[in-house]
């Protein structure tokens, strides 16, 4: 009887450890996903700042922004599907800047602010 109880406790302890490790892995994946989104946000802000300072449009940088937003969309998909969808729209907007003039996309700066706030909220939840 005592051996059965000790075996059950040992099994339960291993189960708790696996659960803790799984939760830690999820938290790390969530942090990486949010980091990816925030990198896209900060790179976009830097580019927009350069444009406001009179620098010319740079298609190479816009293509890089599109790639960053695509990576962010994929990385954050399992964490926040709505944020992932927004990142996809941002990626498409930088791939084809003519899409940014479409009124349904809104102002880029406003979108960046909302995205950043959502990332901050997700970080607080973890």
- Residue 84 pLDDT grade (very low, low, confident, very high; cuts 50, 70, 90): very high
- Residue 109 pLDDT grade (very low, low, confident, very high; cuts 50, 70, 90): confident
Task: Work out the burial of residue 31: count CB atoms within 10 Å of its CB; fewer than 13 is exposed, 13-18 middle, 19 or more buried.
Answer: middle
Q: Which two tokens stand for residue 119?
A: 């990332």
pLDDT number for residue 105: 41
DSSP structure string for 10-21: HHHHHHHHHHHH
Per-residue three-class SS string for 29-89: HHHHHHHHHHHHHHHHHHHHHHHHCCCCCCHHHHHHHHHHHHHHHHHHCCCCHHHHHHHHH
pLDDT 10s digits, 93-107: 899 988 775 444 447
- Separation between Cα atoms, residue 6 and residue 62, nearest integer Å: 61
CATH of the domain at 48: 1.20.58
Provide the domain limits for residue 98. 2-125
Domain count across the chain:
1
pLDDT 10s digits, 6-61: 666 667 666 656 666 656 556 888 999 999 999 999 999 999 999 999 999 999 99
Q: How far is CA 28 from CA 65, 94, 125, in A?
A: 24, 28, 13
Residue with more model confidence, 4 or 60: 60
């Amino acid at each position: 009887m005592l051996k059965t109880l000790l075996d059950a406790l040992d099994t339960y302890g291993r189960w708790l450890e696996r659960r803790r490790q799984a939760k830690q892995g999820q938290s790390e994946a969530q942090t990486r996903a949010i980091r990816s989104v925030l990198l896209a946000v900060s790179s976009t802000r830097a580019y927009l700042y350069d444009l406001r300072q009179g620098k010319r449009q740079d298609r190479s940088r816009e293509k890089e922004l599109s790639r960053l937003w695509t990576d962010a969309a994929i990385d954050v998909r399992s964490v926040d599907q709505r944020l992932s969808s927004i990142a996809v729209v941002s990626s498409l907007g930088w791939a084809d800047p003519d899409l940014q003039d479409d009124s349904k996309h809104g102002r880029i700066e406003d979108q960046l602010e909302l995205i950043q706030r959502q990332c901050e909220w997700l970080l607080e939840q973890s």
